[in-house]
Chain A
């Protein structure tokens, strides 16, 4: 009897916790957001918490004590997880985000992903880009333990749809995190393409054509051969390691290739800038979540981009902005030189003879990945719906460079007597070329500032003046690009509505 009362008491406490979740979410929901997505996340969490709270009286009457405790525990775990997820919405408030470009990126992702998605962009203090998806799925999973399928879908629809329109399947919510320091650096946000790559690649890596099963079967054979005289427990351990390294490696490389397909050469420049000062040759370990070495990733991206390279864009850029063309190729050469040194690959594929089994397994996995790189590239090309044709955008890219050089946002280009909005991809690629040309050093930035009359307090000390010109030049570039992405998106929406 006493134990029964005790569990009732705990369930009553749980009801208070779930009510607190709803209350916290309601407060966050009142904030200003650049799009509807964070509010949808709030609604999803609040609705789910409310439904679980409404189920608690039924759980109380459960006669099987173990079942009662299990259900209550599930509610508690869910409440904790959901409350932790509220921070994604809280940090997606307007003041924390590059708010003016959020709607454009959200529309861009919706255009790529077959299934409807809400995209929440939020900063992180740690200097990483990251994606977390599957919120709708997790809520659905928990709610199904208490409600029938129809009721669950009704709850989710109430949370995620507000116009009676019911797309199938229901929208998923993705949270893409970006480094807070890069908030107003849209050129760095090319790396959203990598995170979008995870969204696009996840379904076919998980399901289609049994790729995951095939990888596991292949690795099982390889581990069996490599460790045929090892104890069973060791073979199991190495197999698990091989699967983890392989899945993470393939996933990251596929996301990199997706980014390259979506954003073209801008991807290479953005990833290079992001990783150049990091340890380039760090082997995949549990500590770094089995990420492939940066140098390896740059090499894969560069080779992939070279396959689709064309001289069309190059020649127009060379004719109109010869210095920009030279500067871009100097940077491409820097990256080419970097990846020509295959020390990372050597470390990956050729572990010392007396090395640990871990290194042997990683070498085996990357040998397998390299054998199948062509297949990974083909899968990315088949599954990513929109490839950015850098070569076919010569005029657009040159327009961007030209307008930035005149300190005008590169949001549109002339088509006959009218102006057409430029795509995000062209804006970012042109902006990168401009940056590599005009702002690739303090000397170049000072020259640019002097030529264009940027508001720079020119110190008598040349080094100080250069540093200041560099800082101001980059800040102005970022502002113009942010304005361009916003203006081109609104222009596009206006034209669509008034067609």
Chain B
């Protein structure tokens, strides 16, 4: 069942909910909560790939990838309210995160949708859109500019929307790889157990 604005407010205010309250923090403006969901803002950290340093990304090389990743990626920070934002050029990919920290109770899941206004400029704000019940942390945004003109991204702007749904029964967050992030984190796909099997290494 989808939660509408008043359900979302209620889920946020009821500290004694059975499976805990819904937390989206900080909510700078009450107007971020609409009938459909909650608008979330762009954080100020970005991860860009140093393409010149590698030929390809092969997750099946396992733990070696986690050693090499810091060389392959570059963290960029754009201060809030600075006049120059992050310029995302056509065809480029960047990882960022929401400014808001989310704590989902065990009986709610949410989906992240890019806002239509940004999509019309060519921006895909998020690709992996489902957030599991019980997750806590900022939500990673995988952004691509599909348009033909560079897009300037200013940290703090409302970039996407969270849509909440109740689950048929409560559950505990089973994710092991991404816990309590406060900024974007690079892929930990190499920690997938069965990757070696499918890469012919078993």
Contact = CB atoms under 8 A, between A and B. Distances in A.
B73 to A, nearest CB: 13
Interface in B44-65: 44
B26 A480 contact: no
Given A100-B77, A419-B25, 11 more contacts: A32-B76, A34-B79, A95-B75, A407-B136, A419-B27, A453-B173, A479-B180, A479-B182, A483-B101, A488-B26, A490-B156
A103 B79 contact: yes
Sorted nearest first, the 4 A-B pairs with minimum C-beta distance are A483-B182, A491-B26, A494-B28, A455-B179
B16 interface: no
Contact of A409 (B30, B80, B101): B101
Contacts of A442: none
Contacts of B20: 406
Interface of A: 32, 34-35, 94-95, 99-100, 103, 406-409, 411-412, 417-419, 421, 453-455, 476, 479-480, 482-483, 487-488, 490-491, 493-495, 498
Contacts of A103: 79-80
A419 B176 contact: no
A139 to B, nearest CB: 26
Contact of B79 (A35, A417, A453): A35
B76 A490 contact: no
Contacts of A409: 25, 101, 182
B120 to A, nearest CB: 26
B99 A490 contact: yes
A498 B27 CA distance: 14
A480 B182 contact: yes
A480 B25 contact: no
A217 to B, nearest CB: 49
B77 A32 contact: yes
Interface in B1-35: 13, 20, 23, 25-30
A480 B28 CA distance: 18
A303 to B, nearest CB: 38
Nearest to A497: B81
B131 interface: no
Nearest to A94: B77
B95 interface: no
Contacts of A417: 13
A94 B74 CA distance: 12
B179 A487 contact: no
Contacts of B194: none
B180 A480 contact: yes
A495 B27 CA distance: 11
A95 B77 CA distance: 9
A487 B26 contact: yes
B172 interface: yes
Contacts of A487: 25-26, 99, 101
Contacts of B163: none
Interface in B74-106: 75-77, 79-81, 99, 101, 103
B26 A421 contact: yes
A477 to B, nearest CB: 10
22 contacts: A34-B79, A100-B44, A103-B79, A406-B20, A407-B180, A408-B103, A409-B101, A411-B25, A412-B25, A412-B26, A418-B30, A419-B25, A419-B26, A455-B176, A455-B179, A479-B180, A487-B99, A487-B101, A490-B99, A494-B28, A494-B29, A498-B29
Nearest to B178: A455
Interface in B143-202: 156, 172-173, 176, 179-180, 182
A419 B9 CA distance: 13
A490 B80 contact: yes
A455 B176 CA distance: 6
Contacts of B81: 493
Contacts of B27: 419
A411 B99 CA distance: 12
Contacts of A494: 28-29
A448 to B, nearest CB: 13
A339 to B, nearest CB: 37
A100 B80 CA distance: 10
A493 B80 CA distance: 10
A39 to B, nearest CB: 12
A228 B48 CA distance: 73
Contacts of A34: 77, 79
Contacts of B26: 411-412, 419, 421, 487-488, 490-491
A407 B134 CA distance: 12
Nearest to A479: B182
A32 B77 CA distance: 8
Nearest to A493: B81
Contacts of B28: 490-491, 494-495
A476 B26 CA distance: 18
A418 B79 CA distance: 26
B102 to A, nearest CB: 9
A408 B44 CA distance: 19
A406 B30 CA distance: 23
Contacts of B25: 408-409, 411-412, 419, 487
Contact of B136 (A95, A408, A412): A408
A408 B182 contact: no
Contacts of B103: 406-408
Contact of B180 (A419, A476, A493): A476
Contact of B172 (A453, A454, A488): A453
A468 B111 CA distance: 33
Contacts of A453: 172-173
Nearest to B81: A493
B77 to A, nearest CB: 5
A479 B45 CA distance: 14
A483 B182 CA distance: 6
A13 to B, nearest CB: 38
